[in-house]
């Protein structure tokens, strides 16, 4: 279960930080976006499938909720212009991460809130379904992640609801995602 959680954290981060952006049609004026995503991760000859929900408040906040089992949220990722908070709800712990940590060592690009926002909105097209794939090599191991967005809704969200972190223990990123 712990290995699965690590892979889910990695897939969430890659989904938020991937550099593969497609040019497609996006509504010109919207303030919020809600969409479902299905994520498939291949790692060490194992395949993991999970669902997630992504909520986006333009230029303010992105919340990704990963629900691998019966819609139960085990991992939550909150991205703001300042950084990312990874919340491991299963083990009641969280880590604050700055965007520059994911720079050239893990990804080939410099992640930012604007880049994440473009990734999540650029995949919207007329057919309402887009598949994306990204392969990452860490410590000579290939991790392949494929995701597809579906069920998009614009301007239906109210103000962002952040998790109260008082009941969670703050840890380093390496404790949540040992790479």
Give the tens place of pLDDT for each residue, 147-161: 787 778 888 888 888
Q: Is the pLDDT of residue 29 over 80?
A: no
Task: Give pLDDT tens digits for 48-73.
Answer: 888 999 999 999 999 999 988 888 88
Hunting for tokens 């550099």 — which residue is that? 19
| pLDDT confidence bin for 85, thresholds 50/70/90 | very high
* CB-CB contact of 26 with 43 (8 Å): no
Percentage of the chain with pLDDT > 90? 23
DSSP string, 102-137: GTTTTSSS---HHHHHHHHHHT--TTS-EEEEEEEE
CATH topology of domain 2-25+35-176: outer membrane lipoprotein receptor (LolB), chain A (2.50.20)
């Amino acid at each position: 279960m712990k290995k699965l959680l690590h892979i889910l954290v990695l897939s969430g981060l890659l989904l938020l930080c991937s550099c593969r952006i497609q040019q497609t049609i996006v509504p010109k004026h919207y303030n919020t976006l809600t969409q479902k995503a299905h994520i498939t991760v291949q790692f060490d000859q194992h395949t993991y499938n999970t669902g997630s929900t992504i909520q986006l408040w333009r230029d303010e906040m992105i919340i990704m909720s990963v629900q691998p089992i019966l819609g139960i949220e085990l991992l939550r990722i909150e991205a703001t212009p300042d950084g990312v908070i990874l919340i491991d709800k299963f083990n009641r712990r969280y880590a604050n991460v700055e965007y520059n940590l994911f720079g050239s060592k893990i990804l080939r690009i410099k992640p930012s809130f604007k880049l994440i926002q473009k990734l999540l909105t650029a995949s919207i097209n007329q057919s309402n379904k887009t598949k994306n794939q990204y392969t990452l090599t860490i410590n000579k191991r290939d991790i392949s992640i494929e995701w597809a967005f579906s069920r998009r809704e614009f301007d239906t969200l109210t103000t962002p609801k952040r998790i109260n972190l008082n009941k969670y223990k703050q840890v380093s990123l390496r404790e949540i995602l040992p790479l």
